[in-house]
Structure 1
Amino acid sequence: MRTPGLAGLTVLLRLCVIVVVLLTSGSIGLVCYTAVESLDLSCLLRWDCPYASPNSTYTVQTKTQGDPWQDVPWCVWISSHSCDVSQIFSNFELYNMIRLGVHLTPTSTVWMEPRKFDYSDFTFSPPSVSVSLKEEQLLVKVQFPCTPNRRCSRERCCPISRLIDPWTTVTVYSELSPSEYQSRTVWTQEVMSHVEFSGLSLGHNYCVVANFSFPTFSMAASPKSAPQCVEVVSQSGETELMPVLCLGIALTLLLIFPLLTVFLRKPQPAATTPENQSKTPVHDLVSLVPLSLVPADPCDVHLELADDQMSIVSSSNLPSAEDLTSALGNAVSRVPLSHDPSSLAAYWDSGGIELELGLDSGISIPRLSH
């Protein structure tokens, strides 16, 4: 026969077992699948909870080695199924952890198993390369992709080389025979990586590709960049072309110079106007007549007047008489004469010298003293 106290204890034990079973079944049924996506050191957490209520809310927490768990400010009590925590992590050499919490009630939260965020999650974009030639050496410059990390949030592009020191591998190969190649791996501690190659064959086209990896973990490597090709040409070959170029320029100038000379020397018609054609005064004509330097005797010069016309008769011993007569006649014809028919005498304003008509119907000029 059971006592009342023992019966009550048995019922209480049965209720506790039922509660434990219910709680255990509920926690087992709440399963979430998480995944981390990382491109160029970004970090995006995604999850899927197939048995959770459609109205469930979530919170994401992060932890860095040596620090406690902290809420991600923009991922607290959210209903979405993803959270970008790229701005949280800054040191990738330490352990970084992420965990997801599911809110069953305002006071009850179930935390999923945390997961690490490390190099095994890293994926990278391929770098870009540029090539140039300098004194028969091939210079390669490697530019790394940008990252959305918080260290460089104020810059338009923050290369991953600001956050890590990647291993950069550059390969140069001949386009005609890809089996001939050179490869170098350098530890990049600058924003860009610079690599030089020499000993290349002249006249060949060479292509360059590059990739990089997380330091000390080559498994987290980027794809190779797009190839950049360049032709290796000797500087001396370019120098040999200079005389040919100069000769061509000189021949061109020799052909153009005569044409320019003919064009510049082409006579231009002088514009003549009636105003420029002025008559020469009489006194200028007289002054232009070449007079003989031999002194002439005034007695040898005779002026004849007939019907208001005057002529000059000169002795044969005067040179250039014809020219002198022509010039003097034109001048005298314009000098005013005083002719008195009654006295048969003609007066010529000759500076006070009087001309008288002689018996031979001529005009005689008195002898003048020198």
Structure 2
Amino acid sequence: MQGDGWLRLCAAALFITGTTGTVCSTRVESLDLGCLLRWDCPHASPNATYTVQTKTQGDPWQDVPWCVWISSRSCDVSQVFSDFELYNMVRVGVHRDPGSTVWTKPCKFDYSDFTFSPPSVSVSLKEQQLLVRVQFPCASNRRCSVERCCPITQLIHPWTTVTVHNRLNRSEQQSRTVWSQEPVSYVEFSGLSPGQNYCAVANFSFPTFAMAASPLSEPRCVETLSEPGEGRS
């Protein structure tokens, strides 16, 4: 779950209450609904161990079972969260001794923090209608599958916007926005000029908060059929 696509969402130097002079920095990184917590406690003992807890709005704090009394400085909590319209929190506890744990200030994980990979598109013609196929990225959150691609549409139902433009005349363009609930969305466009080259791009956004949106896909282009007899003298 590491990579250049991850975005640092919550990063701050946080004093651990009750530990004089000890500072921990924590941050949450996310891409495609994944959630990775990282932390650094430079003044903690080299042999220090840590426990990570998560909390969803209205629920108590709970241990992340695979991140209890660990020595590493990161924990993938992607599988914990399932409702992305609620506020989700994550924190790390430093074990000073078997009977004492000091908790950092929680980091939030919600819609305002999401980043997404772009979708991919393909285009095809049926007579003078252009059909755009939008394929969504696999979710980093693996709650719905651990062995195959789990499209983000199995976890959220995003708004998907497809724009088609004339490659030689950018002022000629059409856009449509659809609510996507399947792994693939299909959007049709008509009213295209014959014998022209049209390109399609798409992106999607979190269903209730458009600020959490993916980048545009790579464009895919196709040439419409010429009218019969066109170009003849």
Which TM class, normalised by the smaller chain length? 0.7 to 0.9
Aligned to 2:6: none
Q: Indicate which of 54, 66, 69 corresponds to 1:62.
A: 54
Q: Indicate which of 98, 101, 125 corresponds to 1:109.
A: 101
Cα separation, 2, equivalents of 1:148 and 1:221: 16
Aligned to 1:178: 170
Cα separation, 2, equivalents of 1:233 and 1:53: 71
Aligned to 2:189: 197
Q: Indicate which of 208, 216, 225 corresponds to 1:224.
A: 216
Higher relative CO (Cα under 8 Å, sequence separation at least 6) belongs to 2
Bigger strand fraction: 2
TM-score of the superposed pair, with normalisation by structure 2: 0.87
Asked if the contact 1:31–1:51 (Cα under 8 Å) also holds between the matched residues in 2, the reply is yes
What SS is found at the alignment partner of 1:40? Answer: coil
State the Cα distance separating 1:25 from its structure 2 match.
Answer: 9.2
Asked if the contact 1:88–1:150 (Cα under 8 Å) also holds between the matched residues in 2, the reply is no
State the Cα distance separating 1:172 from its structure 2 match.
Answer: 0.5
User: What are structure 2's unaligned runs of at least 5 residues?
Assistant: 1-15
What SS is found at the alignment partner of 1:183? Answer: strand
The percent identity for this pair of structures is 76
Runs of at least 4 residues of structure 1 off by over 3 A? none
Q: Indicate which of 111, 117, 132 corresponds to 1:140.
A: 132
What SS is found at the alignment partner of 1:27? Answer: coil
Asked if the contact 2:85–2:111 (Cα under 8 Å) also holds between the matched residues in 1, the reply is no
Aligned to 1:297: none
TM-score of the superposed pair, with normalisation by structure 1: 0.56
Q: Indicate which of 81, 85, 89 corresponds to 1:97.
A: 89
Bigger helix fraction: 1
Letter of the 1:112 partner, please give it: T
Please list the CA deviations of residues 137-164 of structure 1 after superposition, one character each: whole Å capped at 9, or x if unmatched. 0011100000132332244111001110
Cα separation, 1, equivalents of 2:169 and 2:130: 18
Letter of the 2:168 partner, please give it: L
RMSD of aligned C-alpha atoms?
A: 1.9
Q: Indicate which of 12, 35, 39 corresponds to 2:27.
A: 35
**Structure 1 pair 216/25, CA: closer, same or farther in 2 (3 Å)?**
closer
Aligned to 1:153: 145
Give the length in aligned residue pairs: 215
Aligned to 1:122: 114
Aligned to 1:345: none
Asked if the contact 2:31–2:140 (Cα under 8 Å) also holds between the matched residues in 1, the reply is no
Asked if the contact 1:87–1:148 (Cα under 8 Å) also holds between the matched residues in 2, the reply is no
Letter of the 2:212 partner, please give it: A
Q: Indicate which of 158, 162, 172 corresponds to 1:166.
A: 158
Letter of the 1:162 partner, please give it: Q
Aligned to 1:329: none
What SS is found at the alignment partner of 1:60? Answer: strand
State the Cα distance separating 1:189 from its structure 2 match.
Answer: 2.1
Please list the CA deviations of residues 166-212 of structure 1 after superposition, one character each: whole Å capped at 9, or x if unmatched. 01010101111223211111111222211111111100000000000
